[in-house]
Amino acid sequence: MWQFFHKLGSPKWFFGISTRFMPWLLAGGVILLMAGVVWGLAFAPEDYLQGNSYRIIFIHVPTAFMAQSVYIMMASAALVTLVWRMKLADVFVKAVAPVGLVLTFLALFTGAVWGKPTWGTWWIWDARLTSMLILMFLYGGVIALDRAINDEKSAARAVAVLVLVGVVNIPIIKYSVEWWNTLHQPATFKLTEKPSMPAEMWVPLLLSVLGLYLIFGWLACVRMQTEILSREQRTRWVREFVMKGRV
Amino acid sequence: MNAEARPVVRLAGNSVGALAAMKGVFVRDMKVAFRQRQDLLNPLLFFVMVVTLFPLGVSPEVSFLREAGAGILWVAALLSVLLSLDHLFRHDFDDGTLEQLVLQPQPLFLLILAKTLVHWMLTGLPLVILTPVLGVMMHLDGNSIGILCLTLLIGTPVLSLIGAIGAALTLGLRSAGVLLSLLIIPLYIPVLIFGTGTVAAAAEGATVGAYLALLGAFLVLALTLAPFAAAAALKISLSNG
């Protein structure tokens, strides 16, 4: 267990192991996401109230779900950065912050597109939407702070503090639906209850969430590898990798 | 800045308890602040000016001002706290006082708490005191003004405490001012929502106890966690330079 923990801290080890499982992440992600989205868009039954316009849920919910869970992953990694000073953790935070920003933007954008036929407006200052917007600002702040500090180590630790402070916002996002309870419908998936939609709807939705998870994993690996290569460019293994094309 | 204007910190040694050290920082920061009186006035002037922009820029109609007044005052107060945050650590960072504070045997978060308290007493509190005057100018009724002052009284310390984290994180960076706003404004939003929500609820005749309790919860949360985060951030920023 401890040996694994120590290995996890080594960028070289991560580089080697991630190259091996990245194709599986990508393949699994693409298959699941395609299955979920095609099933959802083409074969799932129509909603009796919203008609076909509800189908954007198969894009909207995965991105919104990922946007929030990426932040929580970042916060966990930030904690690891501060407590154990593990190099890989701050590589992760730096690598996924822009991905999270894009996912949040996509969630807001698809939400706006969905809101137009359903609520009759692109944007409403509902608590949940506003919280998502705040989440996007938080991602922006993390990226801006990271870019502003030149020294890599202090940048990583300062960003970790900021991410942990921002994570206070996540429960507010989660519970705002229940607190204010305005236009936005409550969360589709709850761990403790059966989904309120029929299986033909929630199964493809679950597939696309899982697919997006895997694709995110692949993307995180790609970005982390790039970051590792640029940070470790003076080490021998990177030079050998560049010469021979493998670790 | 001339040297006499900045008294040295006298709290060295293990013999001084944490509370005495906090008092030392408090007294010293107050002294420094009152020797630079213009810096104390600036956020207040800014507050009044921002509020003035709204009747001029949007509408001087009584109905509009009555409805939007509380929100405008809250936003203006938020912005002027934000503006003043740059001073929280900047001068102490420039002349090396901050490093001495970090080196003190007493816990850094307590000293930061004392500094933040001074910051609030010199920006947040005067804003609260000024609010009734501006509230009358915004045609708010007496009850609303009272509630507004109460929310600002609970809310502005939260702003100072959260702001201390941002000020510590951006210390010594090139575009610290803008960056500070980018980092901190998202964290201010919940406070703003509940601050203005309280006044709106009061205007509708609802009970405001729950809102005030939530604001109070924010204050307790910020009071317990923010000094630790600010202390961690400060140590990182100091090791940076």
| pLDDT on residue A133 | 86
Domain of residue B63: give its range.
34-240
Q: Is residue B193 part of a domain?
A: yes
Complex ipTM more than 0.95, yes or no: no
What is the value of pTM for the model shown? Answer: 0.84
Number of domain units in chain B: 1
Residue type, B58: V
Closest-approach residue (CA) in chain A for B229: A161
Q: Is B66 exposed, middle or buried (CB count within 10 Å of its CB: 0-12, 13-18, 19+)?
A: middle
Question: Hey, what are A49's tokens?
Answer: 């109230």
Q: Is residue B135 part of a domain?
A: yes
Q: Is residue B12 part of a domain?
A: no
- Partner B, chain A 37-96, Cβ-Cβ below 8 Å: 82
Question: Hey, what are B122's tokens?
Answer: 């010199």
Stretches in chain A below the pLDDT threshold 50 = 176-177, 181, 183
* DSSP assignment of A5-72: HHHHT-HHHHHHHHHHHHHHHHHHHHHHHHHHHHIIIIISPPBTTTBGGGGGHHHHHHHHHHHHHHHH
Closest partner CB to A158 (pick from B162, B225, B233): B233
- Kindly list the residues from chain B whose CB atom is less than 8 angstroms away from the CB atom of residue A141: 182-183, 186
CB contact under 8 Å between A158 and B183, yes or no, is: no
Domains of chain A: 20-186+195-244 (1.20.120)
A2-46 pLDDT tens trace: 666 666 668 888 888 888 888 889 999 999 988 888 887 877 777
Stretches in chain B below the pLDDT threshold 70 = 1-15, 240-241
Does B8 lie at the interface with A, CB-CB under 8 angstroms?
no
Does B165 lie at the interface with A, CB-CB under 8 angstroms?
yes
Q: Which residue has the tokens 């990226």?
A: A143
Burial track B90-126 (b if 16+ CB lie within 10 A, e otherwise): bbbbeeebbeebeebebebbbbbbbbbbbbbbbbbeb
